[in-house]
Chains A and B, each alone.
Chain A
Amino acid sequence: MLRKLLAFLSVYYAHMTVYRGEILFWLLTGLAPFFFMAIWVEAARQGLTDRDPLAFARYFFFVFVTRQLQVVWVTWTLSEEIRSGAFAFKLLQPLDPFWHYLAQHVAERGVRFPMIFLLLLVFLWLYPGALFWVGGGRLFLGLAASLLGFLLNFLVAYALGLLALWLEEATDLYNAWYVFFMLFSGYLAPLDLYPQAVRGVLDLTPFPYLAYLPAALWSGEPVPGVGRGFLVLLGWTLLAFLLARGLWRAGLRRFSAMGA
């Protein structure tokens, strides 16, 4: 298993380095949190919120980081491979194609990380003193939430991608999921600024735990109900896993290796 993992990660890392330019541009299209950062920092400077301007800067920087950890494109890949018939080659192997796609995403992070590090330096130059040591516990919990969030995102994207077995093209389905993510994950504003009633509903959905939870943990914000948050996130991840497995089984019967 270890040999398999190493081979996959090393080859797919090499594969992703070929697309390093594209990954850089993709990363730049994910700079939206910096714009929201600028807006909210200015609002704080003008005294429109109780928060400190640096607290906003810190929060949105970590929203950006956690989002970068969770980027997925497996819906597009599945749609493409199913439509062209290339998916057939993966089905001929005695290994679930899931592992190929997951390894590609993990390897891609290896190319993306150095670029994020450069942006960290820019951030530190723009907002000196914004970052501080929040403690090992918060760092670990934030990382765990981010990684679990990545897994949930990946499983949802994978399940939606499998719908291409029926629809032939499923990329826009993931875009619909992304819209909900944008609105309800804390991507536009910290969720504690949302009305209480809205938060009550959102807390049952997976979205607050994809961006708000890790960003708040890393930026030192008070985060009530961390344990419950992890449980909800785990529950949604499990649900997405079951959905993906169900669609995989049903989809295989449907697959006709189109275009081959």
Chain B
Amino acid sequence: MEYAVVAEELRKTYWVAEKEPGLFGTLRHFVRRRYRRIEAVRGVSFALRPGEIVGFLGPNGAGKTTTLKMLTGLLYPSGGRAEVLGYRPQDRRPAFLRQITLVMGNKAQLLWDLPVLDTLRINAAVYEIPEAEYQKRVRRFASMLGIEGVLTQPVRKLSLGERMKAELMAALLHHPRVLFLDEPTLGLDVNAQAAVRDFVRQYARAEGATVLLTSHYMADIEALAERVIVIHEGRLLFDGGLKGLVERFAPYKEVRLDLEAPLAPGDLAPFGEVVELRGQSARLLVEKPRLTAVVARLLAEFPVRDLAVEEPPLEEVIGRVFREGRVA
């Protein structure tokens, strides 16, 4: 199989009822309902090779989750074609469902009042995992995630990080070949984020799994994905390597300055875009062709204690892409 996941001109359109606030709005809504057409995904195309880990980026409302739902068969596409492991997701064939998983950072599949092991037991039965293999997988996953000690505690007593790790265990227990991860590190502290990332990386490597990952934490994307797909307002903006994204959308470098004395706002404006100015420290973005000249002038005109030139943070690159809405 050449591709594990294919989206071809994928579209999804909703009709949403609109209602004005207040009593008048309620009455009007009751008598004469108005609908608005929402084009959540507008002809998105991409393909993932088996074993690829791809970051799926976009601001809130860009159509990421809708696309993931179409690829997992939860939503019927309004147009275009979706194919995962050779199946049409919306047919929801058992053989297809056995090979995929969807993790949603803001939703839980664990049984809230019972220990994690009970949900795992249910999933083992649903996916017909033999008992010995089930025990082996539980031990392995729990050890990889470092949650051996909490599996017998009720889910509601777990911390957010422990819960998310347990969600991952439940979602991956059947050894899916394709993972759709929608904000799996949402709200987690730095350590828990790192643990989740490591687990996903190890799992994907060991099983040769294909991963499509959305996250607002660029550290997730940088740690896991070499390729990123960026969508905005339902349209594809970029599909390529992380490095290519930076080169294409960030034709500038970041200059970090540490000065002997505080600067006034506006002092640095002629040199580039001031991203941050805090007392004696400043960060500014400088277009690459002007970099050498700007650095020389900064050193000549200001009492510089330290100066560093770096690639801009990925967050800023992505933010810039979204603000400018540049189509690939």
Q: Which residues of A contact B (CB under 8 A)?
A: 3-4, 7-8, 10-11, 14-15, 18-19, 85-86, 88-89, 91-95, 252-253, 255-257, 260
CB of B107 within 8 A of CB of A15, answer no
Q: What residue of chain B has the Cβ atom nearest to residue A11's Cβ?
A: B118
Please pick, from A18, A93, A256, the residue contacting B97 in the complex, using a CB distance under 8 A.
A93
CB of B121 within 8 A of CB of A11, answer yes
Measured CA separation A161–B221 after assembly (Å) = 40
CB of A94 within 8 A of CB of B122, answer no
Q: Distance in Å from the Cβ of B181 to the closest Cβ of chain A?
A: 13
Main secondary structure, interface of A, reads helix
Q: Which residues of B contact A253 (CB under 8 A)?
A: 76
Measured CA separation A95–B125 after assembly (Å) = 10
CB of B107 within 8 A of CB of A85, answer yes
User: Chain B interface: which size bin?
Assistant: 20 to 34
CB of A8 within 8 A of CB of B74, answer no
Q: Which residues of B contact A252 (CB under 8 A)?
A: 92
CB of B111 within 8 A of CB of A15, answer yes
Asked whether A91 and B73 contact (CB < 8 A) given A8-B125, A260-B104, the answer is yes
CB of B113 within 8 A of CB of A15, answer yes
Q: Which residues of A contact B137 (CB under 8 A)?
A: none
CB of B127 within 8 A of CB of A18, answer no
**Is residue B19 contacting chain A, with contact meaning CB distance below 8 A?**
no
Q: Which residues of B contact A (CB under 8 A)?
A: 14, 65, 69, 72-76, 92, 94-95, 97-98, 100-102, 104, 106-109, 111, 113-114, 118-119, 121-128
CB of A4 within 8 A of CB of B101, answer no
Q: A86-B107, A86-B109, A95-B126 known; 11 other A-B pairs, CB under 8 Å?
A: A4-B125, A4-B128, A89-B107, A92-B97, A93-B97, A94-B94, A94-B127, A253-B76, A256-B75, A257-B69, A260-B65
Q: Which residues of B contact A8 (CB under 8 A)?
A: 122, 125
List 10 contacting pairs A-B, 8 Å CB cutoff, sorted by A.
A11-B114, A11-B119, A19-B113, A86-B108, A88-B69, A91-B73, A91-B92, A92-B73, A92-B97, A257-B74
Asked whether A18 and B69 contact (CB < 8 A) given A8-B125, A95-B126, the answer is no
Q: Number of A-B pairs whose CB atoms are under 8 Å? A: 75
Q: Which residues of A contact B98 (CB under 8 A)?
A: 94
Please pick, from B75, B94, B106, B122, the residue contacting A7 in the complex, using a CB distance under 8 A.
B122
Measured CA separation A246–B100 after assembly (Å) = 27
Measured CA separation A88–B122 after assembly (Å) = 16
CB of B14 within 8 A of CB of A256, answer yes
Q: Distance in Å from the Cβ of A7 to the closest Cβ of chain B?
A: 4
Measured CA separation A92–B123 after assembly (Å) = 11
Q: Which residues of A contact B72 (CB under 8 A)?
A: 92
Asked whether A94 and B75 contact (CB < 8 A) given A14-B118, A85-B107, A88-B107, the answer is no
Q: What residue of chain B has the Cβ atom nearest to residue A12's Cβ?
A: B122
Q: Which 9 A-B residue pairs are closest in the complex by CB-CB distance? A: A7-B125, A94-B94, A89-B109, A94-B97, A4-B125, A18-B113, A11-B118, A257-B74, A95-B126
Measured CA separation A85–B68 after assembly (Å) = 14
Measured CA separation A10–B123 after assembly (Å) = 13
Measured CA separation A55–B149 after assembly (Å) = 58
CB of A14 within 8 A of CB of B114, answer yes
Q: Distance in Å from the Cβ of A58 to the closest Cβ of chain B?
A: 38
Q: What residue of chain B has the Cβ atom nearest to residue A87's Cβ?
A: B74
Q: What residue of chain A has the Cβ atom nearest to residue B108's Cβ?
A: A86
Measured CA separation A253–B65 after assembly (Å) = 18
